[in-house]
């Protein structure tokens, strides 16, 4: 009897872990799809010849594991963290498009971007996103807990130029 109960508990644990993993995979796929569509818009509006956006999903997984107690305290699920990162990345791209539409001088500089690297902040409680620019690479250290809109990031991006 004990073995049957123990086996049931083990199966339930693995089923839950697999289910969460599937939800995370679906969240990553959805985020990547949205990001890819927005990259095409930035290239069309800003004139970038190439623009590669790389989200460090492995880094997000590590951050989620390291902050599991904080996520649990807020009843927060890992796929929500992933979805919000995708939304924040799309908002960054929308901000770039909006800046290009509004100002030809910024457009000229933003058109030189070739890469955007997105990483997770290590502390889940940190909701601010930070931006840095080196040569033609924009680095975004993404905050957590909520989605953002393009207007939240435009001023920060402009300040890099």
The per-residue DSSP string of 58-117 comes to: HHHHHHHHHTHHHHHHTT--HHHHHHHHHHHHHHHHHHHHHHHHH-HHHHHHHTT--EEE
In this predicted model, what pLDDT tens digit does every residue of 62-92 receive, in sequence order? Answer: 999 999 999 999 999 999 999 999 999 999 9
In this predicted model, what pLDDT tens digit does every residue of 8-65 receive, in sequence order? Answer: 444 444 433 444 589 999 999 999 999 999 999 999 999 999 999 999 999 999 999 9
Q: What is the pLDDT of residue 145?
A: 83
**Calpha distance 125→134 (Å, rounded):** 27
Q: What is the pLDDT of residue 14?
A: 41
CA 36 to chain centre: 12
Give this prediction's pTM. 0.85
3-18 residues labelled b (16+ CB within 10 A) or e (exposed): eeeeeeeeeeeeeeee
Nearest to 90 by CA among 32, 28, 158, 25: 32
In this predicted model, what pLDDT tens digit does every residue of 144-155 receive, in sequence order? Answer: 988 899 999 999
Q: Report the DSSP beta bridge partners of residue 137.
A: 115, 134
**Calpha distance 158→140 (Å, rounded):** 14
Q: What is the pLDDT of residue 20?
A: 59
Q: What is the pLDDT of residue 146?
A: 80
In this predicted model, what pLDDT tens digit does every residue of 80-133 receive, in sequence order? Answer: 999 999 999 999 999 999 999 999 999 999 999 999 999 999 999 999 999 999
């Amino acid at each position: 009897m004990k073995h049957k109960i123990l086996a049931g508990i083990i199966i339930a644990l693995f089923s839950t872990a697999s289910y969460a993993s599937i939800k995370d995979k679906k969240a990553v796929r959805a985020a990547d799809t949205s990001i890819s569509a927005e990259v095409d818009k930035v290239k069309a509006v800003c004139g970038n010849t190439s623009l590669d956006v790389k989200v460090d999903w492995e880094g997000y997984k590590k951050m989620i594991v390291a902050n599991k107690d904080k996520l649990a305290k807020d009843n927060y699920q890992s796929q929500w963290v992933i979805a919000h990162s995708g939304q924040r990345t799309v908002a960054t791209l929308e901000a770039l498009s909006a800046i290009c539409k509004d100002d030809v001088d910024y457009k000229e500089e933003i058109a030189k971007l070739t890469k955007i690297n997105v990483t997770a902040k290590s502390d889940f409680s940190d909701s601010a996103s930070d931006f840095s620019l080196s040569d033609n690479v924009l680095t975004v250290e993404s905050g957590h807990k909520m989605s953002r809109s393009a207007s939240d990031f435009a001023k920060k991006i402009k300040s890099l130029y």
